[in-house]
């Protein structure tokens, strides 16, 4: 009996505090017009003092578990994709597990920066296919504002905080045509200095701040996300026209539009949240998914393509029959 993963529920959480471009332009040398024109970002949510990544993750997770009609005790794998763990160790995933009152199964973090949710979905899907897990809680959660140099206008305007989660459930091929159809992961560490944090426990003994060669990242993002989409479609013998919704990582509206144009996919079929959330790293895709499910855009049976590129570089895609 072939087992696969179907999406049982999703949820999201955004911190209450919003910082608009106009507010940001009072503290750093930028303008609302520059940010909006170059990135499509209008505002970002930022954690309150003391609000941690696990706090965001738990709120999104509770919403996803309730949406799936399950109890926390049904979950046997908790994965948290994050670049901003509460502590260097233990993993944020075990903190989330404890806060949800889950005392069975196992939990760990996945670190692939902005591709983290794609990586975590692929990991969870493999555990389910191997019949080692029945219900996986996959979370993307970031307090990314903690990694920003608020004097560096080329990076601090780009990011925000938030969390999104989905619950995957084991199902069999003959039960339903729904489910994760493919996962494709890639990385190439020769680009590690294009987008990184200039600190870490074993290098500087500090947390560090985000540094980025923006234009280069932009070019790689467009090309590699297009390739990740095409490889998924080819493997499943599907066409771009078969896609109901593209849910890309939300870094820059111009990147999203360029990928859509290269694929020949109308912008009406792309879920875009970067204007409201900015780049929330590993949280951006599950936040966008949960929004589009909640407002009725993504429906059961839709073909949904997820894709991302992040520091490393890491990139990849996940194709889902919703």
Mind telling me the catalytic residues? 114, 249, 279
Q: Which CB, 22 or 71, lies closer to ligand UT7?
A: 22
Select from 104-112, 197-205, 212-220, 226-234 the region that touches ligand UT7 (CB under 6 A): 212-220
Nearer Cβ to ligand UT7 (154/302): 154
Q: Which of 13, 218, 315, 322 is close enough to bind ligand UT7 by CB under 6 A?
A: 218
Would you count residue 39 as binding ligand UT7 (CB under 6 A)? Answer: yes
43 has which bridge partners?
20
Binding residue count for ligand UT7, defined by CB under 6 A: 20
Number of H helices, E strands in the chain: 10, 13
- Specify whether the CB–CB gap between 139 and 164 falls below 8 A: yes
Q: Rule CB under 6 A: is residue 7 a binding residue for ligand UT7?
A: no
- Give the integer Cα–Cα distance in Å for 37 and 111: 31
Residues 126-165 that bind ligand UT7 (CB under 6 A): 153-154, 157
Q: Does 43 bind ligand UT7 (CB under 6 A)?
A: no
Instruction: Kindly list the distances between the CA atom of residue 49 and the CA atoms of 31, 46, 82, in Å, as whole numbers in the listed order.
Output: 26, 9, 19
Residues 248-259 as b or e (16 or more Cβ within 10 Å = b): bbbbbbbbbebb
Burial of 73 from C-beta contacts in 10 A (0-12 / 13-18 / 19+):
middle
Candidate residues 97, 145, 183, 252; the one interacting with ligand UT7 per rule CB under 6 A: 252
| Minimal distance, residue 286 CB to ligand UT7, in Å | 15
Residue recorded with tokens 């060669």: 213
* Subset of 254-273 contacting ligand UT7 (CB under 6 A): 255
Place of tokens 């307090």: 143
**What's the token pair of residue 86?**
């509460």
Closest approach of ligand UT7 to the CB of residue 137, in Å? 24
- Interface residues with ligand UT7 (CB under 6 A)? 30, 34-35, 38-39, 114, 153-154, 157, 214-215, 217-218, 221, 251-252, 255, 279, 309-310
């Amino acid at each position: 009996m072939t087992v696969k993963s179907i999406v049982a529920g999703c949820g999201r959480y955004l911190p209450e505090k919003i910082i608009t471009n106009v507010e940001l332009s009072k503290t750093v040398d930028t303008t609302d017009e520059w940010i909006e024109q170059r990135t499509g970002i209008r505002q970002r949510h930022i954690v309150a003092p003391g609000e941690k990544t696990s706090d965001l993750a738990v709120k999104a997770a509770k919403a996803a578990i309730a949406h799936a009609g399950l109890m926390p005790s049904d979950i046997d794998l908790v994965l948290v994709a994050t670049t901003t763990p509460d502590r260097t160790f233990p993993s944020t995933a075990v903190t989330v597990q404890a806060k949800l009152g889950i005392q069975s199964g196992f939990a760990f973090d996945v670190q692939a920066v902005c591709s983290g949710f794609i990586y975590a979905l692929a990991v969870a899907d493999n555990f389910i296919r191997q019949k080692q897990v029945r219900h996986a809680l996959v979370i993307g959660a970031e307090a990314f504002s903690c990694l920003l140099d608020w004097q560096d206008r080329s990076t601090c305007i780009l990011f925000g905080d938030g969390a999104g989660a989905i619950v995957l459930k084991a199902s069999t091929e003959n039960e339903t045509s729904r489910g994760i159809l493919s996962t494709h992961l890639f990385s190439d560490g020769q680009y590690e200095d294009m987008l990184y944090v200039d600190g870490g426990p074993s290098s500087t003994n500090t947390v560090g701040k985000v540094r980025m060669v923006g234009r280069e990242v932009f070019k790689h993002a467009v090309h590699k996300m297009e390739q990740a989409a095409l490889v998924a479609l080819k493997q499943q013998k599907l066409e771009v026209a078969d896609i109901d919704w593209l849910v890309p990582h939300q870094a820059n509206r111009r990147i999203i539009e360029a990928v859509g144009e290269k694929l020949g996919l109308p912008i009406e079929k792309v879920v875009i949240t970067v204007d409201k959330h900015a780049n929330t790293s590993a949280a951006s895709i599950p936040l966008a998914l949960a929004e589009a499910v909640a407002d009725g855009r993504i429906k059961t049976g839709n073909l949904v393509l997820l894709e991302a590129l992040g520091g490393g570089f890491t990139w990849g895609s996940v194709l889902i029959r919703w």
